[in-house]
Structure 1
């Protein structure tokens, strides 16, 4: 089965955020690291709609799960 791999830029666009490389790096730099126990979608900087999208994409959509997991890792990493 062929799964589509979405880049960060597409996920950021889905979230309504600036999706160019510099903006993505700045966003991660501003918000990382999240506490170990905090789930990605529970981070206080997401709107309710963004949080719901991340939750649904991780659970329901295998195409997006990989990039959501990558964002989760990036935001939990120490810069």
Structure 2
């Protein structure tokens, strides 16, 4: 299986979100969750498609999984 090297910019693009450094920082600041909040893909701010992508990335340990984990950490207080 071919593994791709993705960055946070590409993850945000894949999710259909603004992907500039400022847009990523704003998203993180505006959507910060408590440590004990719901699972990342269950957060209310995702569309169904975004939530499905995030869940699938983790469930299948896809090449996006590491970045999805990193995003989860970034979104926790």
Specify the TM-score bucket, using the shorter chain as the normaliser. 0.7 to 0.9
What is the TM-score normalised by the length of structure 2?
0.87
Q: Which residue of 1 aligns with 2:27?
A: 27
In structure 2, stretches of 5+ residues that fail to align are none
> What's the C-alpha RMSD, in Å, of the aligned pairs?
1.8
Q: Which residue of 2 aligns with 1:46?
A: 46
What is the TM-score normalised by the length of structure 1?
0.85
Q: Which has the higher helix share?
A: 1
- Shift >4 Å, 4+ stretches: none
In structure 1, stretches of 5+ residues that fail to align are none
Instruction: State the SS of the aligned residue for 2:18.
Output: coil
Query: Does the aligned pair in 2 maintain the 1:5–1:67 contact within 8 Å?
Result: no
